[in-house]
Structure 1
């Protein structure tokens, strides 16, 4: 999990906002699954995780349900518009484009969020969640199957080169 967080931060540091945002939006699903008995992601788990670990920063602006709808539209259709969302679209401002911060604004019927702040808020939520669950039996069971990076390969399959599996 730490490697995934690190790579998302590197994406932000290199202005790879699509990649950082796409990856960050999947984290509530992953965290919800890793801390569940059946190890599966669900809409309800996503919403509850977001509301608990990130939602406080977005009260009156972005709910777990709206974030879930945005995640669905972006991950599956490549759009910031979802018919069930409370907003017509989500507009992310890149911090390299201006010295001003545009964050948590409702513009007409659209939600405006600073992409760096949003991604970092999710990552902070993941780090807090991880501290809470890392020693639980449910997490340990599910994390054993989590996709990890193996810098020296994964014997007996591949040895000597980095792999992700």
Structure 2
């Protein structure tokens, strides 16, 4: 899983924004499945994982980036992109390639590419759309994934399910293919 996290960071640095968003949206599913008894993803697992490991990062990051005399007063700052909204966005983007979901509370989700403007709009609502800072969102997901992995990588379900996690095998994967790198 660490290799996947590293590759998401590399895709951001390489300005491969579609890959960054699509893959970041897969992490809550993957982590939820890894933690579970049956090793399978579900909407409930996605939403719960996102609420526990991603959504709080917004407030934490705002507080940590604010001067101490201001940060101490930021108590009730909630990310409007809740687990259910993120799950619906994930479904529409990954399965239909759309930033609009018919049951979303937002007309659409939009991301401003880094460097396009000096303004940063992160979870701002504009005419019914939710505007999200692309690196900010991916960073929050990656922060959550790292924290989750550090806290759960020794758990029995995670260990069992990680054994099936796709990984790179530099010398092949016998008995299927040997002598060349494969992912499997």
TM-score (norm 2): 0.87
Report the alpha carbon displacement of residue 155 of structure 1 after superposing the two structures with TM.
Answer: 2.1
Structure 1 position 84 matched with structure 2 position 103: yes
- State the Cα RMSD in Å: 1.1
Aligned to 1:147: 166
1:17-28 map, 5 Å: 17-28=17-28
In the alignment, the residues of structure 2 paired with residue 87 and residue 99 of structure 1 have an alpha-carbon distance, to the nearest angstrom, of: 25
List, as ranges, runs of 4+ consecutive aligned residues in structure 1 with deviation greater than 2 Å: none
1:71-150 map, 5 Å: 71-150=90-169
Name the SS of the counterpart of 2:115 in structure 1. helix
Aligned to 1:36: 36
In the alignment, the residues of structure 2 paired with residue 18 and residue 52 of structure 1 have an alpha-carbon distance, to the nearest angstrom, of: 25
Deviates more, 1:18-27 or 1:94-103: 94-103
What is the number of residues matched between the two proteins? Answer: 165
Report the alpha carbon displacement of residue 105 of structure 1 after superposing the two structures with TM.
Answer: 0.3
In the alignment, the residues of structure 2 paired with residue 114 and residue 68 of structure 1 have an alpha-carbon distance, to the nearest angstrom, of: 18
Structure 1 position 48 matched with structure 2 position 67: no
Q: Are the structure 2 counterparts of residues 38 and 113 from structure 1 closer, same or farther at C-alpha, using a change threshold of 3 Å?
A: same
* Contact preservation (8 Å) 2:20, 2:138: yes
Structure 1 position 4 matched with structure 2 position 4: yes
- Gaps of at least 5 residues in structure 2 are 60-77
In the alignment, the residues of structure 2 paired with residue 70 and residue 86 of structure 1 have an alpha-carbon distance, to the nearest angstrom, of: 10
TM-score (norm 1): 0.96
In the alignment, the residues of structure 2 paired with residue 53 and residue 60 of structure 1 have an alpha-carbon distance, to the nearest angstrom, of: 13
Name the SS of the counterpart of 2:85 in structure 1. helix
In the alignment, the residues of structure 1 paired with residue 171 and residue 104 of structure 2 have an alpha-carbon distance, to the nearest angstrom, of: 44
Q: Deviations over 1:124-156 (max 9, x none)?
A: 100000011111111111111111111222123
- Gaps of at least 5 residues in structure 1 are none
Bigger Rg, which one: 2
